[in-house]
Structure 1
Amino acid sequence: MNKNVFKEFSIEDWIKLVDINKAIVSELQLDKVLILILKNALDSIQAESGSLMLVSDDDKKVLKIVASVGIPKNISENTTVELGEGISGTVAETGKSILIEDIEKNPKFKKKNNDRYKTKSCIAVPLIFKKNIIGVFNINNKKDLQPFIKKDVMFSETLAQQAAIAIQNARLYRNLKEEKEKIGELNQELEESLMALSSYTEELYTFHDFTKNIFDKVVNYFDFEELVREIARLFISVETMTPSYVVLYFKEKDYRCIIDKNGVKTNTSLEKISVIDKISNYCIDNNESIRIPFEENRYNDLQKITTDHFSSVLCVPLFGKEGPFGTIMLLNSKRKKYQFDEKTRNLMSIFSLQVSTALSLFIALDEIMKKRVLENELKVASKIQKMFMPGKNPIIPGLEIAHVYIPTFQVGGDYIDFLWHDDQRISIALGDVAGKGVPAALIMALTKSAVKSNVSRYDSAKGLLDKINTELISEIEGHRFVTMIYSIYDWKTRTLRMAKAGHNPPLIFKKNGEILRINPQGLFLGMFRDCILKEENHIIDKDDIVVFYTDGVEDAVNEKGENFGLDRLKATIWENLDMTPEELKDLVVKKIRDFSGNAPQADDISIIIGKGVEYNNREIELKNHKAEINRLFNYLTKLLANSGIEGEDILFKVRLIVDEALCNAIEHGNRLDEKKTIKVTHELKGKKLILTIEDDGDGFEWKRKLLSENSVDIKSDRGRGIIILKELCDEFVYNSKGNNAKILISLENK
């Protein structure tokens, strides 16, 4: 069965197919089976008309309509199509389905009689039984006047597999019935044959009851081995067979279920299992049933090894869309002298088709359920991984940072982190775990933990990577490894100290036009005792840009199989040096997506972009969350300390003002809306700090608030912020809209 069916069909679609199959296999009259198949198909995909065409018994190169809905009687009774002629003939000749969205735009199949095709859309799928094409399934005119889609074709193909089996069963029943009627017209000498045929027909009815039970079990059982065991027990219950053992064998799974005459799952000797496997594999490889002993001079080798352990064997193949995939085997022990006859083999061949369909449907349902469970597990793993990734860009004096991480799957193996050593130095780490999915994500989490626990112990980038390599070697498998670029940025000296372990070399775009590709020596982590690491130092001046990235950027492919490559990345940055890191990051991602088009993402994509900026007159964008207050205050503390401005009283005053101003912006300006942001601009002039804080809100009448100071209830937890800011600040004023506050803070010790 096509694996794409698992992705396209819902559980409801599969249950609908099970219900249809139960309905059609319970009917033995061929005319009724044909119309039942057709009506169920049209109802399921909401079509108005259709027909079933079968290869003519008289001429195997001609198709005839044997059932129709919504087609005039004179057309359905008189229409024949030769193989290779028109849509139906082409499908019958090639064995491939045809979907036509607009028949008027298809010169090969354009119809003269447009009244029959109101939607100009139709589907034709082959009916295939044991790799032989027995007919064609035609469906026309969607009820909602829309064209048919790929899912409609896949549904029709799946139903056609079941329909072909039901048609062959009905034909067999019809032939048996006709034979019975002929025998009834003969003389008394044929009475014994007539009685045998009657018994044969009754057993056929019994097998159809079995089929209903099997499809009920498909819906009610959730374990493959339990379902197989129940199917085997059904054979034991047939009074006319009464085998000593029933065996269901599945070649690809290398699994066999052996049930004894009491319906109990049992084991047997290795010698007997070897015989069972040889007979089953012969049956599968040659696509035929086997009955041993056999009066003709066939299966001599198999008969020789069989008769040492069993008195008789009957084995029939189980069929899937790709051919035989297993067998059903009836065995009689040496003590039981009953031998299976040709009538039993024919009945077993019929029933094996029903078992094959039931098992195929079960496997399809099981795949859907497993996929849904896996999807839920991946969603949880994805949430956990996002917790490991930095949610915000660090605020670093003199360096503006932006980053992005786009996993190939829900869970990926790239690693990004920003960790402060102290007030002066911050680590910037970017890693890539070999592989994808959950295993890569687990190694990423291990790597992050190792970096975090060691970052404050090593002043050199090389030293830390050597330590991480030692820890990973003892933890991960030999075929796994991690590439990483690890750097330590000293914002006071603007120095970037960098080591690289088998990772893509970072790029530095200097403001003088030079482009540096930083490529210090170093092997990847987790495989070699010595990574042979080197370290380099580089100054990131104002307007210099540094770019870290994983190989998912260069290796991104388009529909022609071309790579995005290093040159396109360089050009994207070089042509837009005036952009902020956030803007550049978004632009690079857009360029990759535009280049890739509809081609799937080949690998995780991670990018970190840094740009040298002024220590003063810098704009910082904050999220609308109170946790940002600490981040801004810690950043301002570093700037003040760098200018020699310290003292608990001054820092307390700055902290109180920042608290009140940002709380006003978060709560009253942005109304606690986490989708909104706050922009902060700072400037340090001697002993004065100038802050501008702007929110995304609608503003307020700030002058009226300031003038109504005496009306504020000092006991209330609301309304005091503006009064506190007015008293603490040397200057405090809003713009006309009331969403941009300018604050002047004196930093003199009093």
Structure 2
Amino acid sequence: MTLKLESESTTRVRIEAGGADALDNTILKASAELLRAQHQETDPRLPAEQLSKLIESLRVVNELTIELLRDISVDELMKFLMDKVFETLMPDRGVVLLRSRLTNELIPAVVRVAEGMSADDIRLSKTLVAQVVEKRNGLILAAPLENEGEVVGLIYVDSQVGHRSFEEADLRLLTSLANVAAAKIQNARLMAEAAEKKQMDREFALAREIQQRLLPESPPTIPGYELQGSNTASRQVSGDYFDFRARSDGKVYAAIADVCGKGVGPALLMASLQASFHAWADESVPVAEMTGRLSEAISRRTGPDRFITFFLVLLDPATGDVEYTNAGHNPGILLKCDGSLQELSSHGLPLALFPGKPYGSSRFTLGAGDLLCLYTDGVTEANSPDGTEFGFPRLKEFLGGQVGRMPLEIEDSLLKELEEHAQGEPFADDRTLVMIRRTPAA
């Protein structure tokens, strides 16, 4: 690894492969263990030189501590740390390595060599640790950047033979400086993580607001019918979609969809589906043809691992006739006024899986008092704490007891029943509902 120094010379920090675990926790703990093994001199009659050195050490630690109170970056603090180390310990070379939060590897943050020194490799290995811990040759110091038991990096300094040798007091000073710096690094990282999370939350909130505007604010008013739709996201943004769209010929589309996956990606694909659907909704084409068009359009905008289950309904309010295409979606449920149930099964694969493949369609008549219910799998797959799903049979059983009720009332009751089933267990998927009921004749 080659780094550019302030002196415009270059040096490398090399971590040698001294075995399968050449750089393990030993190098990070060695100096701390050595420090704990030593007993600080307690005799008040210290020689003047030792006393002077102790006062100087306290001054340096105090200066670094004051730096913590300033709003400076970790990079600036590391340079200041190295300034103080070279000012007081006068090593020939030094390096600060910080542990990456992503890879957990040690990465050089600051590298420095004394004026006039050659830019040889700085090598960290178990051999080095043995020299520090066992031989105590006085030419090398290394201390972990440790705070509250967490090691966030390492500071290393050395001196060439004949220049100077280090003492235990130097190690105590280096370790103290390392601990102070580690506190700042941890605090800076926590603040950065909090700021990043706050920014992400703001972006998700904005994405959710935009997405909600793509969904109908309220269903259209159609004499003789009651329409209801809702979307409850399990995360900040949803991969589910529902819509109502009146055509110029008086017929009305109702649609529901579930994009594969969760998060921002599916939400963007949902927006693409909405845009395509609205672009073609005014054309008087059969639902099977519309579904095929949407499948081809979505396939051009996504990869092979993305698809959308889709259920499209076209209602003729004048007659109650309904034409529908189910593209790999959950079976729709038709609740008749006599309490009987009819499942509306699939006509083909989800959108974008096999673009160009034609879809089929089916028809039925929505009689007075009949209710059509469409939903996404977040409803049927809602889990209880023991992992039991709400399930399709239970949904049918629930709907069987809703004859004569308004869609909004049914929706409220169903969402409440899902909450009772979950018993506080987080919902793993979005819950979206679309219902159309033909009101009974007066």
Q: Which residue among 91, 98, 102 is the counterpart of 1:249?
A: 98
The equivalent position to 1:231 in structure 2, one of 65, 78, 92, is 78
CA deviation after TM superposition for structure 1 residue 415, in Å: 0.8
Does residue 215 of structure 1 match 2:41?
no
Q: How many pairs align?
A: 404
Within-5 A mapping of 1:211-610: 211-217=64-70, 220-221=71-72, 226-238=73-85, 239-243=87-91, 244-253=93-102, 254=105, 255-260=107-112, 272=121, 279=125, 294=132, 296=134, 313-319=140-146, 323-330=150-157, 337-457=163-283, 459-530=285-356, 533-610=359-436
Counterpart of 1:235, as a letter, is M
Structure number with greater CO (CA < 8 Å, separation at least 6) is 2
The equivalences for 1:683-694 within 5 A come to none
RMSD after superposition? 3.5
Q: CA deviation at 1:447?
A: 1.1
C-alpha contact (below 8 Å) 1:232/1:246 kept by paired residues: no
Q: State the AA in 2 paired with 1:257.
A: A
| CA distance in structure 1 between the aligned counterparts of 2:152 and 2:141, rounded to whole angstroms | 17
Deviations 1:251-275 (A, max 9, x none): 4445431243589xxxx99x94xx6
Q: Displacement, 1:336?
A: 9.1
Displacement of 1:295 in angstroms is 9.0
| Residue 553 (structure 1) shift | 0.5
SS in 2 for 1:416: strand
Matched residue SS, 1:493 = coil
- Measured in 2, the distance between the counterparts of 1:241 and 1:371 equals 40
Assess if the C-alpha contact under 8 Å between 1:501 and 1:531 holds in 2.
no
- Which residue of the partner structure matches residue 19 of structure 2? none
CA, structure 1 residues 342+397, in 2 after alignment: closer, same or farther (shift >3 Å)? same
Would you say 1:611 and 2:437 are equivalent positions?
yes
Q: Is the 8 A contact 2:81 2:177 kept in 1?
A: no
Give 2:74's aligned amino acid: L
Q: 1:375 to 1:411 in 2, by over 3 A?
A: same
Q: Equivalents in 2 of 1:374, 1:402: separation in Å?
A: 32
Determine which structure has the larger helix proportion and give its number. Answer: 1
CA apart distance, 1:237: 2.7
* Alpha-carbon shift at residue 592 of structure 1 (Å): 0.9
Seen in structure 2, the aligned counterparts of structure 1 residues 525 and 293 have a Cα distance that, compared at 3 Å, is: same
User: Aligned match of 1:176 in 36, 40, 52?
Assistant: 40
Alpha carbons 1:236, 1:242 under 8 Å: kept: no
Unaligned runs of 5+ in 2: 1-27
Letter in 1 for 2:68: F
CA separation of 1:312/1:534 partners in 2, compared to 1, >3 Å: closer, same or farther? farther
User: Match of 2:55?
Assistant: 202
- What are the residue-to-residue correspondences of 1:127-138 with 2, within 5 Å? none
Deviation at 1:294, TM superposition (A): 4.8
- Structure showing greater Rg: 1
* CA positional deviation for 1:330: 2.6
Counterpart of 1:457 in 2: which secondary structure? coil
Asked if the contact 1:487/1:498 (under 8 Å) is kept, the reply is yes
Unaligned runs of 5+ in 1: 1-129, 132-164, 185-190, 284-289, 300-310, 618-750
CA distance in 1, matches of 2:162, 2:232: 67
8 Å CA contact 1:545–1:611 kept in 2: the answer is: yes
Task: Judge conservation of contact 1:236–1:261 (CA < 8 Å) in 2.
Answer: no
What is the CA–CA distance in structure 2 between the aligned matches of 1:408 and 1:476, rounded to whole Å? Answer: 23
Q: 8 Å contact 1:510–1:544 — kept in the other structure?
A: yes
Contact 1:292 1:312 in 2 (8 A): no
> How many Å separate the matches in 2 of 1:607 and 1:600?
19
One-letter code aligned to 2:108: R
Distance 1:249 1:456, change over 3 A: same
Q: Give how far 1:242 is off.
A: 3.0
Q: Deviations over 1:137-186 (max 9, x none)?
A: xxxxxxxxxxxxxxxxxxxxxxxxxxxx9xxx9x999x6351x33xx3xx
**Moved beyond 6 Å, runs of 4+:** none
